[in-house]
C-alpha cells in the first residue's frame, strides 16, 4: 500500500512539476527571451529565414551569399538583450526590451557614400559599373564592423489557446535586430 501511495505521489509531483515548468515558460517575458535566444543559438527557423532572404537577394553571387550568411550568423550570435518591462492586459502583452547589435547601418551609409565619391573604383574593363565589385567591398566593410548600437523595442504578444505568441515584427523591428536600422 505504501508503495502505491509513494508511486501516486511521485506521479502527481511529476505531472504538477511539468505543468508548473510549462507555465513558467509561457509568460510574455519568457517568450521574448526564447525569441532572442533562438537568434543567438542559430535556431533552425532563424536560419531558414536568413537563407530565404540571402537567396532572394539578386545583388549577391554565390560566394557573396555565403559570406553574407556567415556574417549574419556571427551577428545573431552576438545579439545582446535585456528585458526591461512587461505589461499584461488580459490576452495582450507588451514586453519592452533593449537590444545591442553591431551597427551595420553606419557601414551601409558609409559604403553608399564611398560609392558615390569613388565610382571609378567599381568599374569593369569596359568602364561599366560592376555591382559585384561594389558588393565585395561592402561585405568586407561589414565584416570589419565593431561598433554596436542599442535600441529599445516593444514586442507585442497575444495569448492564443493559453499560449503567449509574439506578434509579427514590424519592418523597423527587423531592421533593428539586423543592425540595419537608420536611426539618424
Residue 49, domain CATH: 3.10.450
Identify the pLDDT of residue 24.
Answer: 66
In a domain, 122, yes or no: no
Is residue 159 included in any domain, yes or no?
yes
Residue ranges for the chain with pLDDT beneath 50: 5-7, 9-21
Whole-number pLDDT of residue 22: 56
Q: 72 lies in a domain?
A: yes
In this predicted structure, what is the pLDDT of residue 19?
Answer: 46
Containing domain of residue 59, as a range? Answer: 26-103+146-177
* 115 found inside a domain: no
Contact 138, 113 (CB under 8 A): no
* Cell, residue 168: 509579427
Residue 85 counted as domain residue: yes
Quote the CA–CA distance of 129 and 154 in Å, as a whole number: 41
Say what the pLDDT of residue 18 is: 45
**Is residue 20 situated within a structural domain?**
no
* Inside any domain, residue 120: no
Q: How would you label 32-56 residue by residue, b for 16+ Cβ within 10 Å and e otherwise?
A: bbebbeebeeeeeebbeebeeebee
Q: Total structural domains in the chain?
A: 1
Helix (H/G/I), strand (E/B), else coil: 118? coil
- Is 137 contained in some domain? no
Could you tell me the CA-to-CA distances from 43 to 28, 35, 37, 39, 119 in Å, in that order? 19, 10, 8, 6, 39
User: What's the confidence (pLDDT) of residue 6?
Assistant: 44
Amino acid at each position: 500500500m505504501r508503495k502505491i501511495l509513494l508511486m501516486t505521489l511521485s506521479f502527481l509531483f511529476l505531472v504538477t512539476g511539468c505543468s508548473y515548468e510549462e507555465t513558467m515558460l509561457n509568460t510574455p517575458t519568457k517568450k521574448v527571451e526564447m525569441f532572442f535566444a533562438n537568434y543567438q543559438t542559430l535556431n533552425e527557423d532563424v536560419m531558414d529565414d536568413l537563407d530565404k532572404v540571402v537567396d532572394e537577394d539578386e545583388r549577391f553571387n554565390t560566394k557573396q551569399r555565403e559570406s553574407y550568411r556567415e556574417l549574419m550568423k556571427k551577428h545573431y550570435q552576438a545579439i545582446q538583450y535585456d528585458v526591461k518591462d512587461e505589461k499584461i492586459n488580459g490576452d495582450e502583452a507588451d514586453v519592452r526590451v533593449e537590444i545591442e547589435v553591431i551597427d551595420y547601418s553606419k557601414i551601409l551609409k558609409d559604403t553608399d557614400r564611398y560609392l558615390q565619391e569613388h565610382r571609378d573604383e567599381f568599374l569593369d574593363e569596359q568602364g561599366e559599373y560592376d555591382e559585384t565589385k561594389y558588393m565585395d567591398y561592402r561585405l568586407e566593410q561589414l565584416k570589419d564592423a565593431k561598433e554596436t548600437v542599442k535600441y529599445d523595442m516593444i514586442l507585442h504578444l497575444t495569448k492564443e489557446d493559453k499560449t503567449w505568441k509574439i506578434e509579427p515584427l514590424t519592418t523597423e523591428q527587423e531592421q533593428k535586430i539586423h543592425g540595419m536600422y537608420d536611426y539618424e
